[in-house]
Amino acid sequence: MESAAHAKDRDAEAKVAGEPRTTKSTVLETGAAMTQDFSPLQNICAHLNAFHVYASEPSRVVEANHYCGHLTEDVRQCLLYDSPSPGARLIGVEYMIKPHLYETLDPEERRLWHSHVFEVKSGMLVMPQPSPFVAQALWDKAETAEMEQVVRLYGKVYHLWQVDRGDKLPLGEPQLMTSLTKADQLPGLEDVMHQRDKRFPGCDWRKKKEIRKDLEEPEIHPGKCK
């Protein structure tokens, strides 16, 4: 009998060009996972979920699941997927840096980066609860501690796969993405967040906004308007 995880993987294949994976491919992948060393992936320590908009077309919004790891205390790197399922498509990458590194960038480079202040304070950025058996109060505390760090970071995001167009392959040039800085930038944002929350147990952007209201809001660099 096919596992639930494998079934989800099969569902995702409909969104990608090519023939469905065979049982042989699945067996080979399972064997590889048992015998090969995937060290770079072992560094991933956080799953974050948020929404990105195209820098060139801010009305287009894409949900992104971030799987992030620390390279140093000052630099993070994240793999971005369109969902948290086994068959998720890798749609982009994001780098996050602390303010003192952002300040060393030249003005042209700074325009490629965005702050995370609104993402955090609005409740748009969440760290999905890994299991319903984890006490909600404990998870809220852990998530808020993570947000205390992320709210200060600047991010640089490129999407490689325009899944919002229905593309079945990663077509075209990489697209610079950014984040929202206020709610009225995207009509219907509250509904978008509500629909996302329904897919993650314990997620409620309104509750998170309330919990985070006392988080210290860092001053955004004057050379960056986003």
Instruction: Quote the pTM value.
Output: 0.85
Closest by alpha carbon to 46, among 65, 63, 69, 64? 69
Percent of the chain with pLDDT over 90: 66
pLDDT tens, residue by residue, 47-60? 999 999 999 999 99
Burial 147-178 (b: 16+ CB within 10 A, else e): beebbbbbbbbbbbbbbeeebeebeeeebbbb
HSE of 79 in the Cβ direction (CA atoms, 13 Å)? 14
Does 173 score more than 80 pLDDT? yes
Reading the block at residue 87, the tokens are: 């068959």
Structure tokens at 114: 């965005």
Annotated domain spans of the chain: 1-36, 40-211
- Determine the Cα–Cα distance for residues 113 and 176; give it in Å rounded to an integer: 9
Mean pLDDT in residue range 116-137: 92
Instruction: Kindly report, residue by residue over 63-114, the tens digit of the pLDDT.
Output: 999 999 999 999 999 999 999 998 999 999 999 999 999 999 999 999 999 9
Spatial CA neighbour of 126 closest among 178, 56, 198: 198
CA–CA distance from 25 to each of 22, 30, 31, 141, 216 (Å)? 5, 9, 10, 41, 49
pLDDT at residue 26 in the model: 57
